[in-house]
A and B are shown apart, each in its own frame.
Chain A
Amino acid sequence: MREAQAGNMSAYEELYRDNVGRIYGLCLRLAGNSSLAEELTQDVFVRAWQKIGTFRGESAFSTWLYPLAVNVALSERRARARRSARVFATDDLASYDRPEKPPGPERGLDLERALGELPEGARAVFVLHDVEGFKHQEIAELTGIAAGTSKAQLHRARRLLREALGR
């Protein structure tokens, strides 16, 4: 870690390899498609490199990295979506949203797909609360929305998902 802080790229590459699975998984869920998730994952690690001087070593690197990843994924995604909006025609919104199919049991597959089709705000909160286990107060701090809004988005997400899945 200290080597990575001192600017050693190969030390940082190790940190990358140890954490990319978790980060990419998160970006994939928040982004809804793999190419955007790949870009976001790169954004996260570039950003973490810039900020690595402020990592105090009080927690594990992954604990420090995770909220940063959420922050980057949510704000960069908006910026990148604006830029790629020029490329996609309105009809292509469906393809923009289409989720990847990660391997897993059949039921998980349905839920993943339905998740990919949720509106972004609701999806972000659902992923953070029900999948990743953050509390509403933590989500409020990470995303900048009010805790009450987070709750409302969560309940909406659950309702939409359960309706879509017939559960």
Chain B
Amino acid sequence: MRTTRLAFLLLLPAALTTAEGRIEQRQSAAPDGIVEIDNPAGSIRVIGWAKNEIQVTGVLGQGASGVDLSVHGRKAVVSVDTMNPHGIKSDLEIRVPAGSRVQIDSFAAEVSVEGVNGEVRAETVNGSIRLSGGFQAAEVSSVNGSIEVSGNTKRLQAESVNGAVTVKGAGGEIAASSVNGLLSVAGSAFDRASLETVSGGLRFEGDLRPEASLDASSVSGATEFVFPATVSADFVITTFSGEIVNELGGPTPTRSSKWTSEKELEFTAGKGGASVTIETLSGTIRLRKRP
């Protein structure tokens, strides 16, 4: 009897496994309401469209008991029902009114958002995040996942610990930071950019508008800045123990102190106007001209 019972218990997970389920749900929603999306793992693809309706399609993973789509006034919630954040992967495709404010929370799902011009907030631990299109404002953060933002955002905050952060076509205000991951920002239409890393690499490529400001800092990560030959900006560069390599012309770096290896470099390229401030502890600073 005891051995049989043990055998039953061992068989248990198989006995209670779910059949995978296709889902399709839709509900009307406000054109500029809040849409909260919760799916612990798998993928989340959000697509903005012209209808005042939310449509959820996709495939539920084994072990998930359902997708909950509920709209209450201007707030909609899409959530995959499962207690276990690990291992149950569901692939969701969610169409939302383009003006929505989208909030995504996931442990390990691959997230992508396109065609939404409201606000986007997305947070993952292991999943990657991809935003494309023009957003009013976006705030994205991941621990291990990579972050990719392309398209014009008026306000962008992107944070990662280990994952790479890549921003293309940057505009407006950007704050991007990482601990270990590579930060890479390209753009020309931004007003303020603040880039910070601890030990990841940092790369900037683009042009600067007349009143733009670019602040970059790194502890030990190597940094590289690529500007067109015609760039007009005031540069203030300091590094405590790193190297400064400057291809933009101007004076050579000077030692700021007799007793330490700290180096400073201040110069104006072109007519000045924009401001570039770069600080590192030991990371190299490379200023290059775009070929």
Contact = CB atoms under 8 A, between A and B. Distances in A.
A and B are partners in one complex rather than unrelated chains? yes
A90 B17 CA distance: 24
B2 A124 contact: no
Interface string A62-92: 0000000001101110110000000000100
Given A47-B83, A93-B2, A144 B15 contact: no
Contacts of B9: 93, 119-120
A131 to B, nearest CB: 18
Contacts of A90: 6
Interface size class of B (residues with CB under 8 A): 20 to 34
A53 interface: yes
Interface in A78-137: 78-79, 90, 93-94, 97, 117, 119-121, 124
B6 A144 contact: no
A94 B1 CA distance: 10
A93 B6 contact: yes
Interface in B4-27: 5-6, 8-9, 11-13, 15-19, 21
Contacts of A94: 2, 5
B63 A75 contact: yes
A124 B68 contact: no
A20 interface: no
Nearest to A47: B83
A22 B15 CA distance: 26
Contacts of A117: 5
Given A93-B2, A119-B8, A75 B77 contact: no
A90 B18 CA distance: 27
A94 B168 CA distance: 61
B176 to A, nearest CB: 32
A157 B198 CA distance: 60
A54 B81 CA distance: 12
A27 to B, nearest CB: 14
B142 to A, nearest CB: 23
B18 A144 contact: yes
Contacts of A72: 83
A29 to B, nearest CB: 16
A15 to B, nearest CB: 19
Nearest to B18: A144
Interface string B33-64: 00000000000000000000000000000111
A71 B66 CA distance: 10
A6 interface: no
6 closest pairs, A vs B, by CB?
Answer: A144-B18, A119-B8, A121-B15, A75-B83, A54-B70, A144-B65
Interface of A: 43, 47, 53-54, 56, 71-72, 74-76, 78-79, 90, 93-94, 97, 117, 119-121, 124, 141-146, 149, 153
10 contacts: A75-B82, A76-B83, A78-B16, A94-B5, A119-B8, A120-B8, A121-B12, A121-B16, A141-B66, A144-B65
Given A79-B84, A120-B16, A141-B66, 20 more contacts: A53-B72, A54-B77, A71-B65, A75-B83, A78-B12, A78-B13, A79-B83, A93-B2, A94-B2, A119-B8, A119-B9, A120-B12, A121-B16, A144-B16, A144-B18, A144-B19, A145-B17, A145-B18, A146-B19, A153-B15
